[in-house]
Amino acid sequence: MTDGRFLSLEGGEGAGKSTQARALREALATRGIHAIVTREPGGSEGAEAIRDLLMQGAASRWSPHAEALLFAAARADHVEKVIRPALGAGQWVICDRYVDSTRAYQGAAGGVDDAAILALHAFGSRGLLPDRTYLLALPAAEGAARAMARDGGGDRFAMRGEDFHAAVAQAFDGFAAREADRYRRIDAMQPAPAVTQAILDDLADWLP
């Protein structure tokens, strides 16, 4: 049995995380590796219920601190019900967003202290971090345009202003620079197949 691996895909709006998660699952399957694709917020029954609260309504529906608490609660259920059992069974887990999105959106862009977010994560999810995190990087303006075209107006987070999304992008760049043992920065301006191949190339040491 292949050892379970936990991968997360991060980045701003419109970076192609969901597309890459599906493509990566298919590419791994051709190599005999079973991977599950999941997402945040969501991924488990309880977390999906919280997702409805977080993603719908006006941008001002929740404060950043309230959002951080809701994300932490959703993640705790997701980790307990889906991620840890899959890893324990030797499966790979590909997660579309994880705790670093909370650190970027509610933390750097929303003003919530990073240490507080990580403390919530340590309590709710027992500090579980991905083995590798792939930052799908592209200019914030390009990502916002893609998201608006895709979603026809976007969710509560996509609707936020240019300064907000610039702060999110800067936060992810900072995480990638400071946590280089876990982070890999991928140019998301490339065609989607090239992005997938770049991730696979980086995973070569784990692939059969």
Q: Coil, strand or helix: which one is 61?
A: coil
Q: Is pLDDT of 132 > 80? A: yes
pLDDT for res 58: 81
Q: How confident is the model at residue 59 (pLDDT cuts 50, 70, 90)?
A: confident
Q: Is residue 67 domain-resident?
A: no
Distance separating alpha carbons of residues 179 and 117, to the nearest angstrom: 16
pLDDT for res 1: 41
User: What are the DSSP calls for 100-122, one per residue?
Assistant: HHHIIIIIITT---HHHHHHHHH
Q: Which of 2-6, 53-57, 70-74, 126-130 has the lowest mean pLDDT?
A: 2-6
Q: Is residue 59 domain-resident?
A: no
Alpha helices by DSSP H, 30-178:
45-55, 64-78, 84-88, 99-102, 114-124, 140-151, 162-178
Mean pLDDT of the chain: 92
Q: 133-173 pLDDT, tens per residue? A: 999 999 876 766 666 666 555 666 766 778 888 999 999 99
Q: Is residue 197 domain-resident?
A: yes
94 vs 61, residue with greater confidence = 94
Q: Is residue 182 domain-resident?
A: yes
Q: Is residue 156 domain-resident?
A: yes
pLDDT for res 3: 75
Q: Is pLDDT of 129 > 80? A: yes
Q: Which domain holds residue 178?
A: 6-40+85-110+127-206
Q: How many domains does the chain have?
A: 1
The CATH number given to whatever domain includes residue 157 is: 3.40.50.300
Q: Is pLDDT of 2 > 60? A: no
Please give the average per-residue pLDDT across 33-37, as a whole number.
97
pTM over 0.85: yes
pLDDT for res 24: 98
Please give the average per-residue pLDDT across 83-108, as a whole number.
97
Please give the average per-residue pLDDT across 95-103, as a whole number.
98
Q: What percent of the chain has pLDDT over 70?
A: 90
Q: Is residue 77 domain-resident?
A: no
Q: 172-198 pLDDT, tens per residue? A: 999 999 999 999 999 999 999 999 999
